[in-house]
Amino acid sequence: MSGEAILRAEGASRVFAAAGGDVHACNDIDLAVHAGELVVVRGASGAGKTTLLNLLSGLDEPTSGRVLLDGTDLASLSEAQLADVRHRALGIVFQSFGLISVLSAAENVEVPLRIARTEPRERDDRVATALAEVGLSGQAAQRPDELSGGQQQRVGIARAIVTRPRVLIADEPTGQLDSRTAAGIMDLIAALTHERGIAAIVATHDPLLVARADRVIELHDGRITESQPVAAEFTSRAAWRAAQSGTQEP
């Protein structure tokens, strides 16, 4: 992978004090994610995946080491600056969808643009584009309880990308979905990553989802134990998709 990393962790550790002694949730993590790259972090429950994502998104601060976004140490930013970075440069997808039940799909997607005080006409255009990208143009007026689990997660993804972020972070985004729907969600995240040039990092314990990644990070007891490419041998996104379906690229 050429070029500078958009998101980088350098010796990042997070230690929590507990009655039985300190818990090293993340331990000396070195990680770089580049534009157009989908990195999957794999590990059992308690391996430190969520803690790592919290550090990478600026929701938590390393006990030691640092996290850099476009070369800027997130810990050096004020709360106001960090909030601005999250709204502008980071898109976050949650396992629990995190939708507001009384709002329509379009209104849920619109929330971060309202927070950023985006002009109404541009807001409408961006929401329509984001919903179209996740295949939900026809469900814009529906509320979350009128949508399937997979559709709700697609709304969550549309909300995450509507600000045109540099980085997409997803914590177990398919954890509440059946395997077929989960595969579709990961295909969508992979496509958006490559087509938009986003740096994406997704935490999962589902081995079926690993094939969608460009690189897999194995996390065990807060440490990276292995990092390996997955789809690097494919010369194009079309070739990769063809290989997954067992067909030949034309």
Tell me, yes or no, whether 137 lies in a domain. yes
CA distance 112 to 80: 15
* 188 located within any domain: yes
User: What are the pLDDT digits (tens) for 135-175?
Assistant: 999 999 999 999 999 999 999 999 999 999 999 999 988 88
* Residue 102, domain extent: 7-206+220-245
CATH number at residue 30: 3.40.50.300
Task: Indicate whether 2 belongs to any domain.
Answer: no
Domains identified in the chain, total number: 1
Residue 211 falls within a domain, yes or no? no
E strands, 46-191, are 64-69, 72-73, 90-93, 167-171
**Do the domain assignments include residue 250?**
no
Instruction: Please write the tens of the pLDDT for every residue from 79-120.
Output: 999 888 888 899 998 878 889 999 999 999 999 999 889 999
| Maximum average pLDDT range among 72-86, 124-138, 165-179, 195-209 | 124-138
Is residue 130 one of the residues assigned to a domain?
Answer: yes
Q: How far is CA 227 from each of CA 134, 194, 215, 239, rounded to the nearest angstrom?
A: 29, 20, 7, 23
How far, in whole angstroms, is CA 85 from its chain's centroid? 15
Does residue 125 belong to any structural domain of this protein? yes
Residue 160 lies in a domain: yes
